Amino acid sequence: MTSIADLRKSYERAELDEKASHADPLQQFDQWLKEAISGEVPEPNAMTLATVGSDLRPSTRVVLVKGYDARGIVWYTNYESRKGHELAGNPYAALQFHWVELERVVRIEGVVEKVSDEESDAYFHSRPLDSRIGAWASPQSEVISGRSVLVTNAAKYAAQFLLQPPRPPHWGGYRLKPDNWQFWQGRRSRLHDRLRYTLDSDGGWVRERLAP
């Protein structure tokens, strides 16, 4: 069996040059995400969300990006979950996309706010029925006695709401408003390309190369 310390990978697929990259990080992200989708990367919309609780302990989990524009990056979840409580106490968070097959990483940092009720309603009602019932059935991050709790809750809410479950008051969207982006492209000999975009006081973006 190979030692985990001996595992190696040579990164040789692409490069990230200042002259070839976009001046606006959102455009760079849009390009890379579309390339991940067209390249059939598994779950290209999956991102790691990092938050910090009142005890200063960080925590991470994987969520799915559901929208992005000049206002920020959007995902949806249970407001009463661990991440919801942590964001309520500390609204700063970090996101990370890792597209392994493309040898690319995108890191995004910023402040988080809830999206409007109208946005949350619109997205909730676009979801499959089972997912809408699931939002009611799962007391996310709470201790439960077994899977039967979820199955029983799902059956109860399916019978109660039939085909028209409303959006739960504890469920909705968050938007991270970026003030820092990093784009990482793997290169040979561990001399990776790494560009950082930082928001300046005038609302523009400063692009800089960082040592990998």
The catalytic site residues sit at 190
Q: What is the largest CA-CA distance in the chain?
A: 60
- How far is 135 from 124, CA to CA, in rounded Å? 9
Q: What is the dihedral of CA 136, 138, 141, 145, to 10 degrees?
A: 140
Burial class (CB in 10 A: 0-12, 13-18, 19+), 25: buried
Query: Which distant-in-sequence residues (6+ apart) come within 8 Å of 51 by Cβ?
Result: 58, 59, 60, 83, 86, 87, 90, 93
Give the residue among 183, 184, 189, 181 at the shortest CA–CA distance from 206.
181
- What phi and psi values does residue 12 have, to the nearest 5 degrees? -140, 10
User: Where would I find the H helices in 53-185?
Assistant: 82-89, 117-124, 129-137, 147-161
